[in-house]
Amino acid sequence: MLVVTSPRVPLPDGVVLRLLAPDDARALAAAYARNAEHLAPWEPARADDFATERVQAVRVENLLAGVQKGSALPLVLVRPAPGASADDEIVGTLTVSGITRGAFESADLGYWTDRGLQGRGIMSAAVSAVVGIARDDLGLHRLQAGTLPENERSQRVLARAGFERFGLARDYLRIAGRWRDHVLFQRILHD
């Protein structure tokens, strides 16, 4: 099981980075529904029911099982929803996945942010925070991330967080229904 000592990190514009919670399925479904068109060019093709609470509840359960196994750390970007009793509004996700121990001590990083919050430094701050969590709380040596070659915004986020480009993976992931190349970045967390 992963133990994270800094689960709530304040970010710009009142956004907070925190661990995914079991009751986040409804807010996550709303976030994916709100951003479906925005995310479509950058993500795998999704089933029609992907942005439903039922599907997201299964995903949340599986992601949190990864925390228990020590193989993943699913985080969400949230901001308080209007109204004192309302749940947090999810405005993005960051997931440290494929955590491999032993001689590798490495993991992959994936992320997205709400279409209405891009260009405000939120994701740059969040990725930098995750670098610290990966190093200090998870004890990882390395993080890796990949972007589509044309996703210059994401590449700038990674560069600001100290990632360096180290390669190009041909036909790396099936994005929007077709195999796509990815530019690969890494951040070495310890000297």
CATH number at residue 112: 3.40.630.30
- Please indicate, yes or no, if residue 4 is contained in any of the structural domains: no
Q: Are 124 and 111 in contact (CB under 8 A)?
A: no
Give the model confidence (pLDDT) of 116-129 as tens digits. 999 999 999 999 99
- Please indicate, yes or no, if residue 3 is contained in any of the structural domains: no
- Please indicate, yes or no, if residue 153 is contained in any of the structural domains: yes
- Please indicate, yes or no, if residue 34 is contained in any of the structural domains: yes
Q: Are 108 and 173 in contact (CB under 8 A)?
A: no
Domains held by the chain: number: 1
- Please indicate, yes or no, if residue 2 is contained in any of the structural domains: no
Q: Quick one: average pLDDT of 68-84?
A: 88
- Please indicate, yes or no, if residue 88 is contained in any of the structural domains: yes
Give the model confidence (pLDDT) of 91-120 as tens digits. 999 999 999 999 999 999 999 999 999 999
pLDDT band at 83 (very low <50, low <70, confident <90, very high): low
- Please indicate, yes or no, if residue 154 is contained in any of the structural domains: yes
Does residue 149 carry a pLDDT above 90?
Answer: yes
Q: Which two tokens stand for residue 16?
A: 């907070």
The Cα 95–Cα 9 span in angstroms is 15
Per the structure, the complete domain to which residue 96 belongs is given by: 9-188
